[in-house]
């Protein structure tokens, strides 16, 4: 018998949870995502706040929702770069997430 009623509830990949108290933040991010359909593409969106306050959850969920809403025109990919220590390894991970072959470091970031 497991100690947990639903161990999957601990998974950070579970996006189907009820998000509490992030309506304003979600609205702001949603507005930015909506803007992409009119060609407004921000290079970076910074989301900041205390650890465990839902930054990743809200961002991933909204991106997934927007992907569905845009009927394939918008695609979101989640890449965790927490363990990557160099710009090259981050670039390589992004490349792999986009479907490319991982590269050897000698080709450099520009090569990627
Ligand atoms: N506002 C919220 N409503 C519902 N669940 C939440 C909320 N914030 C956090 N959680 C729960 O806590 C888990 C961890 O949250 P999340 O990873 O999004 O935090 P974070 O702000 O990205 O943390 P970190 O700064 O460590 O990256 C979520 O997967 C979710 O289960
Ligand atoms: Mg996070």
pLDDT tens-place string over residues 14-29: 888 899 999 999 999 9
pLDDT at 68 over 80: yes
Q: Which residue lies with its CA nearest to atom 26 of ligand 1? A: 51
Q: Which residues contact 108 (CB under 8 A, 6 or more apart)?
A: 88
Query: Tens digits of per-residue pLDDT, 96-112?
Result: 999 999 999 999 999 99
Residues spanned by the domain of 67 = 9-76
- Residues 16-45, mean pLDDT to the nearest whole number: 93
For residue 3, tell me if it sits in a domain: no
With CA atoms as reference, report the closest residue to 14 among 76, 60, 63: 60
End-to-end CA distance of the chain: 49
Average pLDDT, the chain: 93
For residue 104, tell me if it sits in a domain: yes
Could you give the angle at which helices 23-36 and 55-69 cross, rounded to 10 degrees? 40
Query: Residues of the chain with pLDDT > 90: what percent?
Result: 77
Give dist(CA 14, CA 21) in Å, integer.
18
Ligand 2 centroid, distance to 11 Cα (angstroms): 13
If asked whether residues 41 and 70 sit together in one domain, one would say: yes
- Residues 67-78, mean pLDDT to the nearest whole number: 92
Looking at the structure of the chain, the number of domains it has is: 2
Would you place residue 33 in the very low, low, confident or very high pLDDT band (cuts 50, 70, 90)?
very high
For residue 69, tell me if it sits in a domain: yes
Give the per-residue pLDDT at 2: 83
User: Of 53, 62, 80, 83, which is best to mutate to test ligand 1, by the most ligand atoms within 8 angstroms of its C-beta?
Assistant: 53
If asked whether residues 41 and 59 sit together in one domain, one would say: yes
């Amino acid at each position: 018998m497991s100690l947990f009623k639903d161990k999957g509830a601990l998974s950070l990949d579970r996006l189907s949870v009820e998000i509490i108290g992030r309506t304003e933040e979600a609205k702001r991010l949603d507005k930015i995502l909506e803007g992409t359909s009119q060609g407004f593409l921000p290079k970076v969106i910074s989301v900041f706040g205390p650890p465990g306050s839902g930054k990743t959850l809200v961002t991933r969920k909204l991106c997934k929702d927007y992907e569905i809403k845009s009927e394939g025109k918008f695609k979101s990919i989640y890449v965790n770069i927490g363990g990557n220590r160099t710009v090259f390894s981050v670039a390589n991970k992004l490349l792999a997430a986009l479907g490319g072959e991982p590269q050897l470091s000698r080709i450099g970031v520009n090569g990627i």
